[in-house]
Amino acid sequence: MNFINYLESITGIGIYPLLSFLIFFIFFILLIVYVFKSNKKLLNEMSNIPLNDNDLSSN
């Protein structure tokens, strides 16, 4: 018995792909909402951190 046939024999297995899709879709929508509601000034400052010449580390 191969793996696909084993999975098809499990009762109620069809709900898992739907749940996986819903979790991904909700996460994606929440991520889009977070990006549009985030503080643009703070994101711009954080994006420029690697480009700053002010090296505060003591390496």
Q: Is residue 8 part of a domain?
A: no
**Residue 58 scores a pLDDT above 60:** no
pTM of the shown model: 0.58
Q: Is residue 14 part of a domain?
A: no
Q: How far apart are the first and last CA of the chain?
A: 59
8-45 pLDDT tens trace:
787 888 888 899 999 999 999 999 999 999 989 988 88
Q: Is residue 27 part of a domain?
A: yes
Q: Is residue 26 part of a domain?
A: yes
- In which domain, by residue range, is 41 found? 22-47
Q: Is residue 29 part of a domain?
A: yes
Alpha-carbon distance of 35 to 41, in angstroms, equals 12
3-state secondary structure the chain: CCHHHHHHCCCCCCHHHHHHHHHHHHHHHHHHHHHHHCCHHHHHHHHCHHHCCCCCCCC
Q: Give how many domains the chain has, as a whole number.
A: 1
The residue assigned the tokens 């696909």 is 4
